[in-house]
A and B are shown apart, each in its own frame.
Chain A
């Protein structure tokens, strides 16, 4: 008997619970139907009808409450607006400062480019002019650094062997000879200036045809050396590169590249040669861009 199962009937729900669920569902259904009815009437006649009038009355009745709420909220809203505008002003200020910095940088770049323009134009005129050495092409390059060493007058340019530049290639500006390439890297090269102690250039006086060697003299000045006393060189004469005289010993520089102007000529009893001081055409102290002469077949 103890083990036998007792058949139990399914418990009937409490009447109160049934009523509660019924009421709940009825309420929600009635409300949803009411809302749908209002929605339908309001949608079908949005600008007229009894419901519209009732809505107007209701809105008017609620208006004082809305005004009161707005008045209560006004100080808080003002405070919020103040903080909001302050935040926006700050972010706008930061954005404008950034813009000003960018414009300043652009302005400086433009100014820098404008200052380089005359030199570049001069260089271009020289390259396209009749005095440009034949059988040579020009690789234009920006000067990217200057040697700060007191022992070497050098600068680095932003073009190298990938542009066809080779060691000992002549380098010039729109005004005249600058120097020659002494070291080449794929995308850069080092140029020794005329004023370097290791620089020697055979030169010719265009007016008198006198030949000599331009190199650095005492005190860092440029001189025309190896000019005998009996030769005639006058102040103001123009010097150009002499070029190759013996094909067996080709010169590094082709004929006709302007070097400088004779600034003074002195003769002393003790000296073997004339003391000719030369003022270079190229402004070697402020070069921004140069042209490197490369043999036409090497130019890429």
Chain B
């Protein structure tokens, strides 16, 4: 990954974080909120791997927590794990698969919401599981709607790396 790529990914995640905090967090559709930041992070992690995903998730979460004056580190923790996990999926089985962004967004939306719920619960804060579960399906649908344009934009900005630069832990025989 080049420095230019890193800057582009950082700008993309910064804009997504600001948009999430300023615009999307108040935009309730069917009781749920679309998570532009999560979708962007999934796109970046799929295209640039687990390390970029984890680092991007950490700092994006930090931005969100700072801008919203929430508990620092809370969103960072969940987004770091989400970015890492999706990055690993992109480096291994999800590579070059058309459905990978959609599958990743659907799964990570559920895990992200549940993860936040667990962290809130562990911290002794309000954790309305019923509300979160009821909002899961609309949230997944909203995020899936965002996936195609966001992934296309991220792919345009961050060209997929050549195969030899990808992690080769799943190595085909004969290569």
Contact = CB atoms under 8 A, between A and B. Distances in A.
Given A39-B73, A62-B67, 12 more contacts: A17-B169, A23-B51, A28-B54, A28-B84, A35-B77, A36-B73, A37-B73, A38-B62, A39-B71, A42-B65, A42-B71, A59-B69
Contacts of B62: 38
B100 interface: no
Contacts of B77: 32, 35-36, 39
21 contacts: A17-B169, A28-B81, A31-B58, A35-B58, A37-B73, A38-B62, A38-B72, A38-B76, A39-B71, A39-B73, A39-B74, A39-B123, A41-B72, A42-B72, A55-B65, A62-B18, A62-B21, A62-B67, A65-B18, A69-B19, A73-B23
Nearest to B167: A20
Interface residues of A, number: 34
A77 B72 contact: no
Contact of A66 (B54, B61, B67, B119): B67
Contacts of B71: 39, 42-43, 46
A100 interface: no
B168 interface: yes
Nearest to B50: A24
B27 interface: yes
Nearest to A84: B29
Contact of B69 (A28, A35, A55): A55
Contacts of A27: 51, 54-55
B44 to A, nearest CB: 15
A70 interface: yes
B173 to A, nearest CB: 12
Nearest to B125: A43
A66 B168 contact: no
Nearest to B171: A17
A51 B61 CA distance: 15
Given A17-B168, A39-B71, A28 B80 contact: yes
B63 A28 contact: no
A39 B61 CA distance: 12
Nearest to B49: A24
B50 A28 contact: yes
Contacts, number: 98
Contacts of B57: 31
A185 interface: no
A59 B76 contact: no
Nearest to B81: A32
A49 B95 CA distance: 45
Interface in A45-77: 46, 51, 55-56, 58-59, 62, 65-67, 69-70, 73, 77
Contacts of B50: 24, 28
Contact of A42 (B73, B119, B169): B73
B66 A31 contact: no
Contacts of A70: 22-23
A35 B76 contact: yes
Interface string B2-38: 0000000000000000110111000100000000000
B76 A55 contact: no
A14 to B, nearest CB: 8
Nearest to B66: A58
A69 B17 CA distance: 11
A190 B50 CA distance: 87
B70 to A, nearest CB: 9
Nearest to A71: B22
A103 interface: no
Interface in A1-52: 17, 20-21, 23-24, 27-28, 31-32, 34-43, 46, 51
Given A21-B169, A69-B23, A55 B51 contact: no
Contacts of B23: 69-70, 73, 77
Contacts of B55: 27, 31
